[in-house]
């Protein structure tokens, strides 16, 4: 996932999300003109943050409803851990270009909106894992550094490792895994259900192999 805000006139958020599509399969963008902020979700532009969030939620729900349950559950328990909002805004958002014409209040709103949309996209993955039915129980966690958490109260820990906008991704660790395994996002798959299901298939394959070790 790469998230940038280009403040050289129009401010963009570009992300490769599985739910936003990150997998939220939505391209999220913000356009700023002076103190005015517009919110773009896919090819739709909204004048209010509330309308944009409603569209994101609708998109997430549509994708979730179309994810078919697995026919071969692995069973066991899993925790899906993501960074906190503050950590996402600190490490996952990058400005490019000049910010001279953007006031502090607008900048703060843009960064916060960007962070919230990323967090919602990451949280979507926990919902997708639960919807897929790979495990008997799915728990959620937020932590500034989820990669430091241990799978000591569950069989597996799926976590989002965030270093900066260029270095980040999903990993899984736990029983039968000698080291964390990356969960690859197949960008060749279409956004939305196809890419989400491909990611879930990858997860299922990794944990199934681990449980047979």
pLDDT for residue 17 is more than 60: no
Range of the domain at 72: 5-211
pLDDT (0 to 100) of residue 10: 43
Give tens-digit pLDDT for 110-158: 888 888 888 998 999 999 999 999 999 999 999 999 999 999 999 999 9
Q: How far is CA 114 from CA 40, 70, 102, 189, 202, in A?
A: 11, 32, 16, 24, 28
Total domains present in the chain? 1
pLDDT for residue 26 is more than 90: no
Give tens-digit pLDDT for 162-182: 998 888 999 999 999 999 999
pTM of the model: 0.85
pLDDT for residue 23 is more than 70: no
**Tokens standing for 95?**
């400005």
99 pLDDT band, cuts 50/70/90, is low
């Amino acid at each position: 996932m790469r998230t940038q805000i280009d403040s050289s006139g129009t401010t963009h958020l570009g992300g490769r999300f599985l739910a936003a599509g990150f997998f939220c399969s939505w391209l999220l963008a913000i356009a700023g003109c002076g103190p005015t902020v517009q919110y773009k979700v896919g090819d739709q532009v909204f004048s209010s943050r509330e309308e944009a969030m409603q569209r994101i939620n609708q998109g997430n729900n549509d994708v979730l409803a179309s994810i078919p349950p697995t026919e071969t559950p692995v069973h066991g328990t899993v925790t899906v851990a993501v960074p906190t909002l503050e950590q996402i805004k600190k490490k996952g958002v990058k400005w490019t270009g000049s910010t001279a014409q953007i006031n502090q209040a607008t900048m703060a709103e843009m960064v916060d909106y960007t962070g919230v949309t990323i967090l919602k996209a990451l949280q979507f993955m926990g919902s997708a894992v639960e919807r897929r039915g790979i495990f008997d129980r799915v728990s959620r966690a937020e932590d500034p550094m989820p990669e430091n958490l241990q799978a000591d109260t569950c069989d597996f820990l799926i976590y989002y490792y965030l270093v900066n906008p260029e270095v980040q991704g999903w990993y899984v660790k736990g029983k039968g895994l000698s080291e964390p395994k990356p969960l690859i996002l197949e960008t060749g798959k279409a956004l939305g259900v196809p890419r989400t299901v491909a990611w879930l298939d990858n997860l299922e394959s990794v944990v199934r192999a681990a449980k047979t070790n």
